[in-house]
Structure 1
C-alpha cells in the first residue's frame, strides 16, 4: 500500500508551477526572476528541477526567447487551472451581504420566544435583509444535533443541554412574576406565599423554565392546586384574563402577555432562582459570516435589555 507521504512527494511545488506559468508568458528567465523576486541562478535551479520532475526540457532558448516545447503547451492549461484553484482556496471568505442574501436562517426557540423575541428579530432582519427567510423551530432533544449538522443556525433561550460543547452568549436575565386577572377579588397589591398556595394555578408543562419552577416548588415544599395545564404559553393570557387562576411565568413573557390582555403583574412570593436567556451555536459555524451577522443582530436587539421592574 502506498503511503500518503509517498504520494505527496510526487506533487509539484507551487513555486515551480508559478515559474512555468510566468515563463510561458514572458519567455524570459530574467523577467521571471524580477516578477518572483528571486535571483537568476535561483530561477535556473527551479527550472532544472521542473524539467527533471516533468521529464521534458519544457523551454528551449531561441532568438525570440525561451520557447515552450509541445509538452509545455499541453501542460499550461492544467497548470493555470491548478493555480486558480489554489488561489480560490487561499482567498478570504466573501462577507455576508444582507441586502442581497436569500439565505434561510433556522432558529430553535421556545413558544415564549415566538412572542417576546421573534417579532422584533424578524422586523430588523427584514429591514436589513429583505430576501432572508427566518424559520422558527422548537427546542427539543434533537436541538444539539440540528446545530451541529447545520440544520439550525442558533438556539435562543434556556437550554441546559447546550451548556457544554457549544458557544454561548448571555442575552438578558430573567426572574419570575405572577399574572392574575386585573379584577381578581381575593388578591390585593401583594401576593403572599400563603395566598399563593390557596389559589388555583395554570401550569405550563414544557420548557426548562417550567422545570426550574417545579424543582423550586418541590424544594420549598410548596404545593399548588393546578386547575389547568398547558403545553406552552399559547392561550395562557386568555385563560388568566377570564378566570381567577394564577400563572407563574418568567418576566419577559409575563410582561408581553400582561400587555396583550390587561393582566396584573405581581412579584412572585416563591424564591425561584433567576436564569439567563442565551444564544447558542456550534463551533463549526463560529466563523461563518452569515451566522455571525445573525448573532450580532440578536445581541444588538436583546443584550442591552435590563431586568424590568414589576408593574
Structure 2
C-alpha cells in the first residue's frame, strides 16, 4: 500500500482522472490547458511513481491497465478530499452566499419563529434557501450527519455530541374568547376544571402540561383535540373553550385573533427553547453565522453549553 508521502502530486492525479475519462492525450491536454508534450511528461512521471504503464495505446484510444482500473476510485476519492479542503469556508458572507440551510422546528415555532427568521434572511442573505423539518425521533441523527444544521425548540432527549444554547424561557398561559360567557377578568381553578378545553397534541412541552395536570389531580373536559396549532386561534375566538399553551405561541395567537390571556391557575413546569447543533459542525462558518443570527433575533441572554467537553 502506498504511503501518504508517496502520493503523486495533485496535478498528476488530475491528469490520471481526466485521461481515464477521455482515453486521449490530445483531449486531456485541451481540458487541462496544457500542451501535449507537457501531458506526456506528466504521464511519464506518474507511470514511474506508480510502477505501471497505466494506459496503453490501442486503436480505440489510451486503454487503462488493470492497475489503472484499480486505482481510479481511490484517485477520485483523494481529489474530492482535496477539493473539499480547498473549498473550506474560513468566512461566511451572508450577502453573497448561495447555500441551503435546514432547520428542525417545533410546530409552534412555524408560527412564532419562522416568519421572523425568514424576513431576516430575505433582507440580509437573499441567496439563502431555508428548508424546515419537524422535530422528531430522527432529529439527533440528522444533526450528526449534517442533514440538519440546527434544531430549535424544547428537545430534552438529544444525546452526546450536541451543543445547546438557550434562546428564551417559556411558562404557560390560558387563552379564552373575549366574549366567553362565564370567564371575566380572572380564571379560577374551579372554573378551569368546569369548562371545556382544546387539547393540542403537538409540541414537545405537552408532557410537562400532562404531568402538571396529574400532579394537581386535575382532569380536563376535552371537547376538541387538534394535531397542531393551525386553526386554534379561530376556534378559541368562536367558542367557549380554553386552550392551555406555552406563552410564546399563546401570546402570538392572542395578538392575531384578539383573545384574552389568563395566568394558568395551577403551576406547570417551565422550559427553555434552545438551539442545538452537532459538535462536528461547531466550527463551520455558515453554521456559526446561522446560530449567531438566531441568537440576535431571539436570545434573552445565556451562554453555550454542551453535554461533552469541547476539544
User: Is the contact between residue 140 and residue 159 of structure 2 (CA under 8 Å) also seen in structure 1?
Assistant: no
Q: Which residue of 2 aligns with 1:298?
A: 294
Q: Which residue of 1 aligns with 2:225?
A: 229
CA distance in 2, matches of 1:87, 1:181: 60
Alignment gaps of 5+ in structure 2? 10-40, 50-77, 303-311
Residue 8 to residue 174, structure 1, CA distance change in 2 (3 Å): same
How many residues are paired up?
Answer: 243
User: Is the contact between residue 201 and residue 227 of structure 2 (CA under 8 Å) also seen in structure 1?
Assistant: yes
1:70-149 correspondence runs (5 A):
89=85, 93-149=89-145
| DSSP 3-state at the match of 2:230 | coil
| DSSP 3-state at the match of 1:284 | helix
Residue among 188, 206, 214 paired with 1:192: 188
Q: Which residue of 1 aligns with 2:234?
A: 238
Give structure 1 regions of 4+ aligned residues with deviation exceeding 3 angstroms: 7-12, 71-76, 85-94
CA distance in 2, matches of 1:259, 1:224: 25
Q: Which residue of 1 aligns with 2:261?
A: 265
User: Is the contact between residue 108 and residue 203 of structure 2 (CA under 8 Å) also seen in structure 1?
Assistant: no
Deviation at 1:94, TM superposition (A): 3.2
Q: Which residue of 1 aligns with 2:203?
A: 207
Deviation at 1:164, TM superposition (A): 4.3
CA distance in 2, matches of 1:257, 1:291: 31
Deviation at 1:165, TM superposition (A): 3.3
| DSSP 3-state at the match of 2:181 | coil
1:11-30 correspondence runs (5 A):
11=6
Residue 74 to residue 114, structure 1, CA distance change in 2 (3 Å): same
Alignment gaps of 5+ in structure 1? 15-70, 307-311
| DSSP 3-state at the match of 1:111 | coil
Deviation at 1:124, TM superposition (A): 0.8
1:45-56 correspondence runs (5 A):
none
CA distance in 2, matches of 1:174, 1:238: 23
Deviation at 1:305, TM superposition (A): 8.1
| DSSP 3-state at the match of 2:165 | strand
Q: Which one has the largest radius of gyration?
A: 1
